[in-house]
Every structure is written in C-alpha cells, then in structure tokens.
Amino acid sequence: MVKVRDEHPLLHDGSLDVDGWLAEISRQYDLEDAEDYREAVTLASQMADEAIANRTYWSIDSVQMGIEMAQILLELRLDSASVIAAILYRAVREGRIALARVERQFGEEVARLIDGVLKMAAITAIQNSDKQVVLGQREAQVDNLRKMLVSLIDDVRVALIKLAERTSAIRAMKDAPEDKRRKVAEEVFNIYAPLAHRLGIGHLKWELEDLAFRYLQPVAYKKIASLLDEKRLARQDYIENVVDYLKKEIEDFGIEAEVFGRAKHIYSIWRKMNRKKLDFSQIYDIRAVRILVPHIRDCYATLGIVHTLWRHIPNEFDDYIANPKENGYRSLHTAVVGPEGKVIEVQIRTQQMHEDAELGVCAHWLYKGTDTKAKDQGYEQKISWLRNVLEWHEEIGDLPQLMGELRADIDPDRIYVFTPEGHVVDLPPKATPVDFAYKVHTEVGHKCRGAKVNGRIVPLTYLLATGEQIEILTHPNAHPSRDWLNAEAGYIHTARAKAKIVHWFKLQDRDKNIEEGRQLVLREIDRLDLGDEPLHDVALKLNMRSVEDLFGAVGAGDIRIGQIVHQLLKQADANSQLQQELPLLKRPDTGNSSVEPDDIIIEGVGNLMTTMAQCCHPVPGDDIRGYVTVGRGVAVHRSDCENLLHLAVVEPRRVLQVNWGQRPGKLYPV
C-alpha cells in the first residue's frame, strides 16, 4: 500500500513547529546535537512568504518539503551533511539562498551535495514554484542523465537526496493538474523507483512504484485498492493470529524471533497478476508475514519450523541468502498453506539482512565506524552498476531508448544463473544458453555447440531461469551459425550476443565477400561497357586501400554498386571528351583499328588479351609497360603515365614489361 506521510508538528498558525520537530527527531534517532538542523531550517525559511506563494502544484510549501526530505534521509540513517543539504535544497533551487552562502555557513561538503542534486534536477519535467522547469533538446536530456550517473559515481548521497526530493514531490502531487501528475509519475516510475531498487532501498522503491502507479493507472490502482480494503479487517485478524502462533512456535525452539505482518504493495500485486495471468484471489503474498532472527543458521532452522507447521508450495521457494539478488538483497522466501487452507507468504531474514533490504546502500552510513569490510563490499557492489550503465549507454542518443534500457537493465525480473564454478551471471529475461555463453566470454560463444542445464542437455533455444547451473559445451572447430541471427528462431535475445555474432561473420566472410563483390562489379561494368576504366582510382576515391578491399566492401554491403558506377561514369566522360579532341595517326596499308594479341609482346607470357589505356593513349614507338587488370587482361600504358607510376608503387607485381609487335599499317589513337 502507499505510505501515508507522517504529519510534522505544527503551530496554531499552521507553520512548522521547529522546536517540536527537532525534539521529535532527536528522540527518535538519538541525535546528540540538532542545532545545525535548526540553523538550516531557519535559513531555509527566509523569505518564507514567497516560498508559501510558490505552492502552485504542491500541497506543501518548499520549506515543509525540505523538512520532509530531511525526514526521509533520517529514516535512511544518512549523515548530517546530507540532512542539512536536503533542508536547504529547495530554497537554493528557488534562488532564495545562494550556494556560496551555504558553503560559508555549513561548509563545502553540504554545498557540493546541493550542487550535485541541482545538476540532477535538470532532467525534471514538471512545474515547480511559479514557472515551468523546461527540458532542453533531446541531446541535452541524455547528457543530463549521464551527468546524473556521473554524480552518483562520485557521491551516492546525491542520488539519495534526489530520491528523497522526488518522493516528497510525488507525495505532494495530489492537487496538481493531471498532466503534471503524469509527468512526475512517469519520471519516478522510469528512473527513480528503479534507482531505489538498484541501491537496495526497498521501502522507497515500493512507495515510489505505488504512488506512480496511482497516477499512471488510476483505474487499476483503485480496483486493487478496493479489493484489498474489502476484507482488510478480516485479513488483519487472520495475520495477527498467524503471527502470534508463529512467534510462540519459533521461541519454543529456543530462537529469539520478531514476527510481523508485511504491508502489501498495489503495484507489485498488479504486476504479478498481469505477468502470471492470475486472479486477485490467486496472489499468494496478499497474506504475508516476515520473521527476523539473530543468525543465518536461525533462518534455516525457522524455515524448517514453518514447513513443519504447514504444507509448503514447492514452486514458491527462493533462497536469496545462498543466491543473493544483484542489488545485494538476501532473504528466504516461501509460501505455505496456512490455517483455513489460505496461502501465506513467509519471508525469513536476519536483522542485518532486513536493514540492508530496507536501507540498501544507506546501511553503509549506519555501519560506518565499525569493522565492516563485508558491508563495504556490499556498498561497492550496489554502486558498481552505475559505472556499467554509464559505459553501456555512452553512445545512446535517444532519450526514450535510454529510459527504456535503464529500466530494463534494472528490472527485478532479470535472471541469475550459475557457471559450473559457482559464479553468478546476470542476464535479462528470456536469455538462452547462447546469450549466457557470450556473456561469459566471446570465444565461449563462438565455440559453443551445445549446453547443459543442471547436468541435462538442453537445446540452444532453451529459456534460462534463475538458480540454474549452465555448462556450455564447446569444440575447437565449432563456430556461430547464421540461424542464431534469425529472431524467429529464438537462439539469442541480447544485443551483446548479436553484435559478437555479426562481427564474427563479417571477419570470416571476407574471401566470400571479395568474390561476390568482384562478380557484382564486373557484371555491372560489362552491362554499361565501362571495362576500360581503371578500378584502382575508384577504390582510392571511395577510401579503399585496394581494388580487393573495394570488392570486399561491395560483397559485405558496405559500398553500393551505384557508388562505383558513378565514379566510373565520371572517369569515362572525362576520357571520352579527351578522346574526341585527339586525331588518329594512320599507318599505311590497313584500315583495321583493333589491337590484335600479337600487336603487343609481353615478356615471358603469351596469348594474353591486351587493351590500350585511355588515360595516356600509347602509340607505336612510345616506351610502354603493361598493367594486369581485373577481368580485362593487360592494359598498355606509356612508361611515363602518371596512373601507371602510381600503380607501380601500390601494386608493383601487376606491372609487366611489354614491347610493340612488328605489324605496321595499323591505326592507333594518339
């Protein structure tokens, strides 16, 4: 269910009772000195009349919002610098307090945190105060998202303050116009709820999802809320009886336990109903309890007690202690058929696991100062994904695509499978053994010829599930199949695997591409009668190092035939114009203008077709050399021809020694 905001103590005039609030938080969070908080509230309240006038779309003013943000961070056990930054943030953003003044009065750390949150605020698309916070161009939006990720990597507290601000904002959107509520809800749903999940802050994630769901799917939200409310009292009585019974049974075994009912979350119920095509009455975790015990061994002992008391449902057991989720979440989940034949979901965890699940990355500050090497490792694990996201999306230039990929990447439905060595591999839904192979290593993917799941041979189109152990069967002579790239065949579902396979075929197909490209080009040259035009010049103009590379590019589809034809026609037009300006030198006794094979003598070789190069037009008596063309025999050039001199440097093996034959009476172009 959506969390109802705690009301802060107010004075008779409706203003915040600062003394009352400070006394309340000092008692609740065992604060030794809250005077810095008082000073921050006093500063934030400057020009309070103007701040109250800025309530256009909020049900609370910006000073109260700062207090609420601070309250959220206190619940997360954040440090005082973060709490002070939260109190002052709205006042700085609205321009009522200069950042320089904050730095002078509260220090560089507080000012830096506020500045980081201000940078993240650039991605907001809602009306705030009396003006619209307008998003820039699409490229600017993507850049701001990247800045947000950079800020998170630099100091994750920036993200936590922003999460508190968005939580306060969506809580206060009840009186806003529908379009504004929807914009905030979309932003919260696509960015901040997933962010809370990845940082392991469970209770914020649930609240943000439920509040966003209320505005994005109001009909579905009201329907589920109504169904939950119909039998709320009966359900509460049932859970209270189960809690009392469980607590007694567990303590009779000598295990100290805290047992309580667990709040229901409307969005998760709706999501499960849609994903599993279930009716509301078939959702197990509508009735749920949570058990907290001192040690890990107590978790498994308690699980045994629960399964002894009631029949468990086999497919509804998950061991997230042995196999933690990627965000560090640990717990035992089971479902049992409880009293009156009603299904109950039971979660069992230690107190530390519970704090990690509720506080996530914030537990880093709760444990700070103790011997917490393992906890620090968990903290690093939770924020390491931010670096990955920044790398994965560095080249994305489309905001909706980035939003979709960001949410998909942190979808809790991602699956976690094991290598034979016991390492966990994170994959998206519908991943196959081929996707797994390429995630492990490119060469494992290339050499994959089969797969085993939990020791059993499976087809390469098998859809993996969380908890399975995958072994890839490889062979030195195996290689990717083109069928893997067929989306309908279902071999791969990840962009990584597809990119690796496409790259492999591009490298392997070079010889084939060259031959196919050669045939395509020569066929078109024959059709257009452009055989005398040198292809090497075309290759250079199209940024190819050789004619062979040109053919390969055509075969691979990187260069179109039309581009080559265009260059050849340009050359032919130039040569034709030059030819029209040149006379023919006539030798007596013949009218035959063709060049016979024995007109030219090629040293060491006989019976080769020869053509006269149109770039230099050699005539008998000129010093000449030959160049072996592709498909047109030997082209005869003058020895001082610039084209020939260039070709002799680039491809010297194709240049031959040739001489004029002894057939007088021929016509030769000059």
The pair phi, psi for residue 452, each rounded to 5°, is -120, 135
Instruction: Pick the range with the lowest mean pLDDT from 14-18, 551-555, 601-605, 644-648.
Output: 601-605
For residue 422, tell me if it sits in a domain. Answer: yes
Q: So what's the pLDDT on residue 38?
A: 86
| Whether residues 125 and 269 fall in one domain | no
Domain range for residue 577? 510-581
381 in any annotated domain: no
- Alpha helix (H) ranges present in 413-556? 433-440, 442-446, 495-508, 510-528, 535-541, 547-556
Q: Mean pLDDT over residues 402-423, rounded?
A: 61
Residue 395 within any structural domain of the chain:
no
Please give the residue that has the higher pLDDT: either 134 or 375. 375
Residues 25 and 79 in one domain: yes
For 97-104, what is the mean pLDDT?
Answer: 90
Whether 73 and 133 map to the same domain: the answer is yes
Count the alpha carbons within 13 Å of 506 in the hemisphere toward its beta carbon. Answer: 11
For the chain, the farthest-separated pair of C-alpha atoms sits apart, in whole angstroms, at: 126
pLDDT of amino acid 328: 75
Residues 563 and 622 in one domain: no
> Of residues 432 and 582, which shows the higher confidence score?
432
Instruction: Determine how β-strand 610-612 pairs with β-strand 634-638.
Output: parallel
Report, as an integer, the average pLDDT of 99-115.
Answer: 91
What average pLDDT score do residues 410-421 get? Answer: 68
**Environment class of 507 (CB within 10 Å of its CB; exposed 0-12, middle 13-18, buried 19+):** exposed
DSSP 8-state code for residue 191 = I
Residue 288, pLDDT > 80, answer yes
In this structure, the answer to whether residues 30 and 137 fall within a common structural domain is: yes
Name the DSSP letter for residue 113: H
Closest-CA residue to 347 (of 288, 284, 272): 288
User: What is the per-residue pLDDT for 101?
Assistant: 92
* Average pLDDT of span 203-221: 90
Q: In this model, does residue 41 exceed pLDDT 70?
A: yes
Residues 125 and 92 in one domain: yes
Range 308-314 average pLDDT:
90
Name the least confident of 75-79, 210-214, 385-389, 390-394.
390-394
For residues 356 and 459, membership in a common domain is answered with no
**What count of Cα atoms within 13 Å lies in the side-chain half-sphere of residue 151?**
23
Q: Which residues sit opposite 635 in a β-bridge? A: 611, 627
Rounded Cα distance, 431 and 496, in Å: 11
Instruction: Identify the domain boundary among 163, 186, 216.
Output: 216
Q: Confirm whether 384 is domain-assigned.
A: no
Asked if residue 58 belongs to a domain, the reply is yes
The number of folded domains in the chain is 5
Q: Which amino acid is at 206?
A: W
Residues 646 and 529 in one domain: no
Please indicate, yes or no, whether residues 149 and 199 belong to a single structural domain of this protein.
Answer: yes
Q: What are residue 288's DSSP bridge partners?
A: 345
Backbone phi, then psi, for 129, in 5-degree steps?
55, -130
602 shares a domain with 547: no
503 in any annotated domain: no
State which of 216, 249, 278 marks the end of a domain. 216
Do residues 51 and 167 share a domain? yes
The CATH number of the domain holding residue 30 is: 1.10.3210.10
What CATH number is given to the structural domain containing 359? 3.30.460.10
Residues 157 and 235 placed together within one structural domain of the fold: no
DSSP run (H or E) holding 273: helix 266-276
Residue 433 has pLDDT above 90, yes or no: yes
- Residue 376 pLDDT greater than 60, yes or no: no
Number of H helices, E strands in the chain: 28, 20
Q: What are 589-613's pLDDT values in tens digits?
A: 433 344 454 567 765 555 567 888 8
What mean pLDDT value characterizes the chain?
76
Among the three residues 566, 581, 596, which one is the final residue of a domain in this structure?
581
* Per-residue confidence (pLDDT) for residue 6, from 0 to 100: 52
Helix, strand, coil content of the chain in percent (nearest 5): 55, 15, 30
Cα distances from 44 to residues 38, 53, 99, 114, in angstroms, run: 10, 15, 12, 13
**pLDDT at 606 (0 to 100):** 56
- Provide, rounded to the nearest whole percent, the portion of the chain with pLDDT above 70: 71
pLDDT for the residue 653 = 77
Pairing assessment for the beta strands 343-350 and 288-293 based on DSSP bridges: parallel
pLDDT at residue 234, as a whole number: 79
User: Residue 413's pLDDT band (boundaries 50, 70, 90)?
Assistant: low
Q: Which residues of 321-347 are buried (b: 16+ CB within 10 A; e: fewer)?
A: beebbbbbbbbbbbbbebeeeebbbbb
Taking only the tens place, the pLDDT of each residue in 312-364 is 888 888 999 988 876 678 899 999 998 888 888 899 999 888 877 776 655 54
pLDDT band at 614 (very low <50, low <70, confident <90, very high): confident
Q: Could you report the per-residue pLDDT of 144-203, keeping only the tens digit for each?
A: 454 445 444 467 788 889 999 999 989 888 888 888 888 889 888 887 888 788 777 878
Between 287 and 57, the higher pLDDT residue: 287
Token match 């020009």: residue?
47
pLDDT tens across 497-540, in order?
988 888 888 777 777 888 888 888 888 877 776 665 578 888 88
The Cα 70–Cα 24 span in angstroms is 13
What pLDDT score does 366 carry?
43
pLDDT value of residue 94: 82
CB 572 within 8 A of CB 530: yes
The better pLDDT of the pair 279, 360 is held by 279
Of 134-138, 195-199, 620-624, 631-635, the range with the highest mean pLDDT is 620-624
What was the pLDDT predicted at 436?
A: 95
pLDDT at 248: 93
Give domain status of residue 406, yes or no: no
**Residue 501 counted as domain residue:** no
pLDDT of residue 572: 63
